[in-house]
Amino acid sequence: MFYRFVRALIRLLAVIFFRWEVKGADHMPRAGGAILAANHVSLLDPLFVGTTVKRKVHYMAKEELFKIPVLGGVITALGAFPVRRGAADRQAIREALRLLEAGEVVGIFPEGTRSIDGELQKAQSGIALLATRANVPVVPALIVGSEKVMRKGSRLPRPAKIRVFIGPPVKLTVEDGKGAEKDKLEVLSVRIMEAIATLKSQIG
> pLDDT-based confidence at 55, cuts 50/70/90?
very high
What type of residue is 204?
G
Residue 142, pLDDT > 90, answer yes
Model confidence pLDDT, tens digit, residues 153-172 = 667 778 889 999 999 999 88
Domains defined along the chain, listed by start? 2-201 (3.40.1130.10)
Model confidence pLDDT, tens digit, residues 83-98 = 876 666 788 889 999 9
pTM over 0.85: yes
From the number of C-beta atoms within 10 Å of its C-beta (0-12, 13-18, 19+), residue 146 rates as buried
- Report the distance separating Cα 147 and Cα 116, nearest Å: 8
- Report the distance separating Cα 173 and Cα 176, nearest Å: 6
- Report the distance separating Cα 121 and Cα 130, nearest Å: 19
Lowest-pLDDT range of 1-5, 14-18, 35-39: 1-5
Model confidence pLDDT, tens digit, residues 44-54 = 888 889 889 99
Report the percentage of the chain scoring pLDDT > 90.
37
pLDDT value of residue 124: 83
pLDDT value of residue 53: 92
